[in-house]
Amino acid sequence: MNKKTLEDFNLENKRVLVREDLNVPLDENQNITDDTRIRAVLPTINYLIDKGAKVIIVSHLGRPKGKANPKYSLVPVAKKLSELLKKEVTFAQNCIGEVAEKAAAKMKPKDVLLLENVRFHEGEEKNDPEFAKNLASLADVFINDAFGTSHRAHASTVGVAQFLPAGAGCLMQKEIEIMGNALEKPERPFVAILGGAKVGDKIGVIQNLLSKVDVLLIGGGMAYTFLKSQGHEIGQSLLEPDKIELAASLLKEARQKNVEILLPDDVVVTSKLEEGLPYETVSVTQIPKDKMGVDIGQKTRDKFADVIKDAKTVVWNGPMGVFEMKVYAEGTLAVASAMAKSKAVTIIGGGDSAAAVKQLGFAEAMTHISTGGGASLEFLEGRELPGVAALNDR
């Protein structure tokens, strides 16, 4: 990575504005239900504390649409962060203006301050230069550690970097280096697994991966558009009619590039997505007209697991079926299990796949689970992320 990192700055006694992604899920009583994102930022915060910096953290939570809303306050995050850091985290009830300025002015080296939700201001998502300048005025150095929001050109990810020396935090560096190495210098065989609902969401990813991978496994709702392009009856399964020709051309391109694309051989079908309804496994050549595919079948699970077993690098984005319903989570479970047993470098590209791996208990066995769904998708597409591009080059 040719961007500046924490090690490139003299941080002692410096006010360091750190953009973190602390967008954690909260229940109706404002309790944090999953603190993974908070734990992920601890290495950066602890590094800054150890170097004697004054640490000023900025983040968003939810979508308050540019207005202050107590439902999206970062107060619960400040409490959890204090607990995990084992030191007091001061909270400022605004991220700019007098409240933030006074809180920042009082800081001593090694102090940690968390600013209120940056999305309580319209200027954040508009990347308003004046708003970015106000944020930047609180600090001497800017560190972007929020990979999960770096595909957005917002004031706290891009704008601030125009006014301060800017570098990447530990988490950002880890995300870019692990995923970057997998894409640019993978140990082979390199296998990518794509699932999720729509081909449309993954066109760029497929096109980029076709010049990099050895095998591409396709499951989930998006598989049915590919099966339809091969002339199969897919019944009531998810279909993107306007993407059928594209799916056929991607299969053709894969053949030309000697990349093996493996589609399901069998699928689990049911008449409706409701708990308790009967379901069965059928060959993809025998999907009934009145049924919909909701998961990959056992033959496909075994076939995918065999490919994963022989791989040296595996990247996965998107579940194999409707994993939120336990009965249709078996395909996703099989892929997660095969990756967990594999000796390969295993990378989970955020979003639903990350949720599935955690839910199914395989998180610890993976080499890396990305903290950013949308950001990791754009990264896999080969697109430059604005929040990374804005950082200073080495």
Domains of the chain, start order: 6-171 (3.40.50.1260), 186-380 (3.40.50.1260)
Supply the DSSP string of 222-242, one letter for each residue: THHHHHHHTT---TTS---GG
State the pLDDT at residue 312: 97
State the pLDDT at residue 15: 98
With vertex at residue 165, the alpha carbon angle to CA 141 and CA 108, rounded to the nearest 5 degrees, is 15
- 144 CB-contact burial (10 Å; exposed 0-12 / middle 13-18 / buried 19+): buried
Residues near 118 by beta carbon (within 8 Å), at least 6 away in sequence? 58, 59, 60, 95, 124, 135, 154, 155, 156
Q: Among 198, 299, 309, 341, which one carries the catalytic annotation?
A: 198
Residue 184 to residue 301: CA distance in whole angstroms = 28
C-alpha of 108 from chain center? 34
Q: Among 195, 219, 297, 351, which one carries the catalytic annotation?
A: 351
Q: Among 66, 204, 374, 382, which one carries the catalytic annotation?
A: 374
Q: How many CA atoms lie within 13 A of 371 on its CB side?
A: 26
Confirm whether 65 is a catalytic residue. no
Q: How many residues does the chain have?
A: 394
Confirm whether 71 is a catalytic residue. no
Three-state SS at 258: coil
Residues near 324 by beta carbon (within 8 Å), at least 6 away in sequence? none
Confirm whether 19 is a catalytic residue. no
State the pLDDT at residue 374: 81
Q: Do 318 and 352 meet the contact criterion of CB atoms below 8 Å apart? A: yes
State the pLDDT at residue 44: 98
Q: How far lies 212's CA from each of 188, 260, 324, 355, in Å?
A: 10, 12, 31, 26
| Six-digit token string for 117 | 């939700």
Q: Do 38 and 24 meet the contact criterion of CB atoms below 8 Å apart? A: yes
pLDDT (tens digit, 9 = 90+) per residue, 83-122?
999 999 999 999 999 999 999 999 999 999 999 999 999 9
Residue 275 to residue 272: CA distance in whole angstroms = 9
For the packed helices 170-184 and 36-50, what is the interaxial angle rounded to 10 degrees? 110
| Six-digit token string for 331 | 């395909």
pTM (two decimals): 0.88
262-291 burial, b if ≥16 CB within 10 A, otherwise e? bbbbbbbbbeeeeeeeeeeebebeebeeeb
For the chain, residues with pLDDT lower than 70 are none
Confirm whether 383 is a catalytic residue. no
Strands, E assignment, the chain: 15-19, 54-58, 89-92, 112-115, 141-144, 166-168, 190-194, 215-218, 260-262, 266-270, 279-283, 292-296, 313-317, 345-348, 368-369
State the pLDDT at residue 181: 87
Nearest Cα to Cα of residue 142 among 67, 233, 48, 210: 48
Q: Among 14, 37, 174, 301, which one carries the catalytic annotation?
A: 37
